[in-house]
Amino acid sequence: MSAPKQRDDTPAVVLENVSKSFGSHTVLDGVNLTIPRGTICVMLGPSGTGKSVLLRCLVGLLRPDTGRVLVFGENVAELDEKRARDRDRLFAVRRRFGMLFQDGALFDDMSVFDNVAFPMRLHTKMREDEIREKVRDRLARVGVAHAEDKFPSELSGGMRKRVAFARAIAIDPDIVLCDEPSSGLDPVMSATLDELILELHRTLGMTFIIISHDTAEARMVAQYIGMLANGKLVTFGPADQVFAENHPALEQFFTRQTVGPIKVV
C-alpha cells in the first residue's frame, strides 16, 4: 500500500524586503508579503505605485535591487536570463504563470481558436486533436464556445476579455496574473468578469493575483488584499482583516477622497 500523498503548503508567492528603483525614483520600498496557494489576492493602489513592477518581478522580467521573490519556493530574484544555467529554471517558473493583460493582447490576425491554442502550440507537445479538445474546454468555461471561428475585431470588449481569460488558463498555470481585468468595461460587464474569476477559481483551484483600481471588484473577489502607496505596502492580509483595520490610505482609496496619505500628483 502506497503512502498518502503529502500536501504541499508552500506559498504561491513570498516577497521578502523587495525594493526596486529606477534612477532616484523608488517604486517598491521594502515590500514583504505572502500569498498562500489557491487564493485570490487583489493588489490595490494609485497609478504609478509599483503594482505592475511587482508583477514583472514575479515572472523574472525585472530583478529587484534587494530582497527575495519566491515563487513556490524558487527565488526568481537570483535568476538571470542572460546566464545559460538560469534559463531553464526561469522558464520553468514562467511556465507556472498565466497572464491576462489589461487590453487582452489578443492577436488580431488569429481566430479566437488559434489565440487560445497559441500557448499550447508554443509551450507543449500536445497533438492537434488534444489542443482542439482543450481549447474548446477553455472557451466553454469562459462562456464563448460559440466564438471559436471569429476574429478579435468581431468581438465586444467583454468577449475579448473572456477569450483572453481562456488563453491565460490554456496550459493550466498555477498562478493567473490579472492586470486591471475590468479596465474599459462597464459596471455590469465588470461584475460578470468578477463572477468568471470566482468560477474559474472554484473549479480550477488556481491562485489569482489581480492588479486593480476597482474597489467593487476587490470587495467581490478578494480573499487577500494588499495596497501599495508611495512605494510601500501599507496594508496586506486576509480581506476581512484588512477591511476591519481600514488603513487611512485604504479608506481614502475606497471613499475617493483627494486629501489623505495618498498624494495627488
For 203, list phi and psi in degrees, rounded to 5: -90, -30
Q: What is the pLDDT, as a whole number, of residue 103? A: 66
pLDDT band at 5 (very low <50, low <70, confident <90, very high): very low
User: Which sign, positive or negative, has the C-alpha torsion 51, 57, 60, 64?
Assistant: positive
pLDDT band at 19 (very low <50, low <70, confident <90, very high): very high
Helix axes 187-204, 128-141, angle to 10 degrees: 130
Please determine, for residue 44, whether its predicted confidence score (pLDDT) is greater than 70.
yes
* Assigned C-alpha cell, 222: 478578494
Q: Are 86 and 80 in contact (CB under 8 A)?
A: yes
- For the stretch 161-214, pLDDT in tens is 889 989 998 888 999 999 888 777 778 878 888 888 898 899 888 999 999 888
pLDDT band at 130 (very low <50, low <70, confident <90, very high): very high
Percent of the chain with pLDDT over 90: 37
Q: What is the pLDDT, as a whole number, of residue 265? A: 61
Q: What integer best gives the mean pLDDT of the chain?
A: 87
Distances (CA, A) of 177 to 161, 164, 220: 14, 12, 17
pLDDT band at 111 (very low <50, low <70, confident <90, very high): very high
CA distance 215 to 264: 18
Q: Are 13 and 35 in contact (CB under 8 A)?
A: yes
**Pick from 138, 146, 216: which is nearest to 182 by CA?**
216
CA distance 73 to 88: 16
Please determine, for residue 223, whether its predicted confidence score (pLDDT) is greater than 60.
yes
What are the chain's domains?
10-96+212-265 (3.40.50.300)
Pick 51 or 115 by higher pLDDT.
Answer: 115
* Side chain identity, residue 153: S
- For the stretch 224-248, pLDDT in tens is 999 988 888 999 999 999 989 888 8
Q: Are 114 and 135 in contact (CB under 8 A)?
A: no
Please determine, for residue 7, whether its predicted confidence score (pLDDT) is greater than 70.
no
- Tell me the β-bridge partners of 211: 43, 179
DSSP H helical ranges for the chain: 51-58, 84-94, 112-123, 128-141, 157-168, 187-204, 215-221, 239-245, 248-255
